[in-house]
Chains A and B, each alone.
Chain A
Amino acid sequence: MVKQTCQISLAFLLLVSCLYSAKFIVALFDLTIPSPLLAMLILIGLLYFNVIQPTRIAPVAIPTLKYMALFFVPAGVGILQYTALLAQNSYLLLCVLIIVPTVGLICVGYIASQGTHRD
């Protein structure tokens, strides 16, 4: 139990350290790249060059990604503020909802199928 708590704390500390290092770099150099994304790139680099073992971050990374969907509920609830805007643009939103993924699926599927073998 104590060992597991230490592993989770260390994993969380590593992820938070990457995030705040990225925030610091973004603020220092006035970059336009989002801090969490830079943090992700930093972490990929650290994993790739074996500075951090993947098992060190797994205790937090795996459950965080498993329940990631929960984290965007608060942002989604903000839709309450824009009900009038949505009603006003319902045709546009319906078109975007159907056309954007359909075009994406067909084009990406076609391009990718040229580079992969048929199963």
Chain B
Amino acid sequence: MIDYLIGSGLTIAIFALCRYLYKTWRYPLVNPVLITITIVCILLIVFDVDYRTYKSATAPISFLLEIAVVALAYPLYMQFKDIKEYLMLLLSSSFIGISLSTLCAFFLCWYFNASAELSASLAALSVTTPISLIVTDSLNGLSSVAAIMVILIGVFGSVFGLSILSLCSIHSYQAKGIALGVSCHAIGTAAAIEHHPTTGVFASAAMTISALLTALWVPILYRWLTQVTSITI
């Protein structure tokens, strides 16, 4: 019980502080999750605490991750009226987007001769972290590596996403939202909400739909790719 209070309490306190700093500075590189993870890692090294001890002390926080995935049904249902007209476009864009991301990551791993474990960890990166963790676990990947990479991809999209889309002459608010939601998940969605309300609604819907499709499609695609290229998982 005392472990839960110290481990979970300290993590929540550091996160709250980082969130406050993020709200003050509003710069994507000051991402609260990234900074919280860095601070907790430093504390564990300084005080010589084993990761397994920390993991068991933060079990209540990890349990809420599953609840958060279930709760994603709420925004999807609430936005249904706004996105109904664009549902097919959202589904097809999300499907192509997540397939391309998985293919890119897989062939980069293949080119760099990465281990099967690392390759599985990078299969589902363009998706919100809880889904990425679930997919990575199901593919026997390293969930911590996936978590960090997902956050960094979100930060990349948040900083450069809108500029990349403008450079490619993509100006529609809906298209920008879908691209940010599919490719850069929640952190990209936050940037989309700041850009324009329509972009935000479409980013949020695209993020939820791509999360659903990723969990269903990426394990099948990844297993097929490993069979084709004779890499065992």
Interface on A for B, CB 8 Å cutoff? Answer: 12, 15-16, 18-19, 32-37, 39-41, 43-44, 47-48, 54, 57-58, 60-62, 64-65, 68-82, 85-86, 89, 91-93, 95-113, 115-119
Asked whether, in the complex, the Cβ of A108 is within 8 Å of the Cβ of B182, the reply is yes
- In the assembled complex, the Cα of A115 lies from the Cα of B130 at a distance in Å of 29
Asked whether, in the complex, the Cβ of A104 is within 8 Å of the Cβ of B101, the reply is yes
- In the assembled complex, the Cα of A79 lies from the Cα of B136 at a distance in Å of 14
Asked whether, in the complex, the Cβ of B126 is within 8 Å of the Cβ of A116, the reply is no
- In the assembled complex, the Cα of A54 lies from the Cα of B80 at a distance in Å of 13
Asked whether, in the complex, the Cβ of A100 is within 8 Å of the Cβ of B125, the reply is yes
Asked whether, in the complex, the Cβ of A37 is within 8 Å of the Cβ of B12, the reply is no
Residues from 27 to 55 in B contacting A, C-beta threshold 8 Å: 32-33, 36-37, 40-41, 44-45, 51, 54-55
Interface membership of B116, Cβ < 8 A: no
Chain B contact surface mostly: helix
Interface on B for A, CB 8 Å cutoff? Answer: 11-12, 15, 32-33, 36-37, 40-41, 44-45, 51, 54-55, 58, 61-62, 64-78, 86, 89, 92-94, 96-97, 100-101, 104-105, 108-109, 112, 114, 118, 122, 125-126, 128-131, 133-135, 138, 142-145, 147-149, 151-153, 156-157, 161, 164-165, 168, 170-176, 178-180, 182-184, 186, 198, 212, 215-216, 219
- Among A72, A109, A115, which residue has its beta carbon within 8 angstroms of that of B168? A109
Asked whether, in the complex, the Cβ of B33 is within 8 Å of the Cβ of A73, the reply is yes
Q: Say how far A18's CB is from chain B's closest CB, in angstroms.
A: 5
- Among A65, A85, A112, which residue has its beta carbon within 8 angstroms of that of B74? A65
Give 25 CB contacts A-B under 8 Å: A34-B131, A37-B69, A39-B69, A40-B73, A41-B212, A60-B71, A65-B71, A65-B72, A68-B68, A75-B65, A75-B143, A77-B44, A77-B54, A77-B144, A78-B147, A86-B145, A101-B126, A103-B100, A104-B101, A104-B182, A106-B179, A109-B168, A112-B89, A118-B171, A119-B171
Count, A-B residue pairs, CB within 8 A = 286
Q: Known contacts A106-B179, A113-B171, A115-B93; can you find 8 more A-B pairs with CB under 8 A?
A: A34-B131, A37-B215, A68-B130, A73-B40, A81-B144, A92-B118, A103-B104, A112-B174
